Amino acid sequence: MNLRPLTLDDNLFVTEYLRRFPPVISELTFTNLFAWRHTRPIWVDEFKDSLLVFAETPRGLVLLGNPVGPISLVEVFDAYGNRISEATRFPKEKLTDATLPPGAMVVEDRDNADYVYRREDLATLAGRHFTKKRNHINQCLAAYDCQYEMITPKTIPECLAMQERWCTDRECKIEPGLHGEDQAIEETLLHYGEFPLTGGAIRIAGRIEAFTVGEALNASTAVTHFEKAMPQFQGLAQLINQWFAKNNLGGFAYINREQDLGIPGLRQAKESYCPDHLVEKVRIVPGKIGECP
C-alpha cells in the first residue's frame, strides 16, 4: 500500500484506471478529484490491482466511491481497519450482499445522487415538458446577439475573468460553498489543456457571459462539471445548457449533471429538466467488533 495525497502527477495513473474500469458516479474523474482537493483533500492508493480514492473529512479518511478495480469493499475495510471510517458516495447499483462487510450499515444519500439526462432531450428540448425552457431561450435570443464558441486555451483567461465577475456579484469569498466551487473552477480552467475536457462559451456584445465544461465519464455518458451564466441575461443559463449538449456532446447518449446537494432550489432546477434516471448513492459504515448486529 502507498497512500499519498493526490497531485497533478497522478493524472495518467488515475485516468488509466478509470479507462479500464469506467465509473458511473460523477466524482470519479481526475478533473473532479483534482479540482476539489482544496475543499475535500484527496488521497489515493493502489492495492491489489485496484485504485482506491479517499477523501479527508472531519471524521478522518473515508473511501470515496467504489474501488476502481477488482478488489472488494470487504477487502478494503479489512486492510485499512480503523484508518477509514466509512465508504461514501458508493453507487447503489454496485451494492450486493457480497459487497458489504459483516454488520455494515447502509445509509441512503439522496442529496448526492447524480442526475442523468438523455442528451437528445437537453439538445432539442422537444415536447411540452420543455415549453418554459424554450420560451426562456427564445426571449434570450430575441434580446441579445448570442454567439457560441468552443473553449480553447486562448479563451481561458476570458472565462476566468467572467467567473471573477460572477463571484463578485455572488460574494463568493464570504460564502464557503461558493468559495470552494470558485477554487475548483479556477483549477479546472487553468489545467484545461492538460485534462480531457470539452467546453463551450457564449459571447454577448463580444464578451463571454456564459461558459460550461465537461468530459467523458464512460462510453455512453458525459459529465458536466461546471456551468455558469451571468444572471442579468434572462434565458442565458438555459441556452448554454442546450448549446453545449447539442454542439459538444453529440457522441454520448446521456449527460450526468451531478448532484443537487440537498439544496431546494437546485433540486427543483435539476428536476425541471426531466432526468432519465438518478445514479443513487449510499454511505456504508462498517460494523465494529463487539457490536451487536
Helix or strand or coil: residue 256? strand
User: For 196-239, what is each residue's pLDDT tens digit?
Assistant: 999 999 999 999 999 999 999 999 999 999 999 999 999 999 99
Three cell numbers at 22? 469506467
Find out if CATH 3.10.20.30 is the number for domain 114-258: no
Contact between 106 and 283 (Cβ < 8 Å): yes
The three cell numbers locating residue 29:
474523474
List the beta bridge partners of residue 53: 44
pLDDT value at 35 more than 80? yes
Q: May I ask the CATH architecture of the domain 4-109+280-285?
A: 3-Layer(aba) Sandwich (3.40)
Domain-wise residue ranges, the chain? 4-109+280-285, 114-258
- Long-range Cβ contact pairs of 266-273 (< 8 A, separation 24 or more): 270/115, 271/115, 272/132, 272/133, 273/115, 273/117, 273/121, 273/122, 273/130, 273/133, 273/241
pLDDT (0 to 100) of residue 101: 84
Q: Hey, what's the cell of 46?
A: 493502489
Q: pTM score, two decimals? A: 0.95
The three grid cell numbers given for residue 72, joined into one nine-digit string: 472488494
What is the identity of the amino acid at 267? R
pLDDT per position as a tens digit, 157-172:
999 999 999 999 988 9
- Of the candidates 247, 238, 232, which has an alpha carbon nearest to the alpha carbon of residue 149? 247
Q: What percent of the chain has pLDDT over 70?
A: 98
> What are the strands of the beta sheet with 114-118, ordered from one edge?
146-150, 198-204, 207-216, 221-229, 254-256, 114-118, 277-279
Span 16-30, average pLDDT: 98
For 86-132, the pLDDT digits (tens) are 999 999 999 987 788 888 999 999 999 999 999 999 999 999 999 99
* Chain centre distance of CA 105: 26
Three cell numbers at 256? 450526468
Q: Is the pLDDT of residue 288 over 90?
A: no
**Do 4-109+280-285 and 114-258 show the same overall fold?**
yes
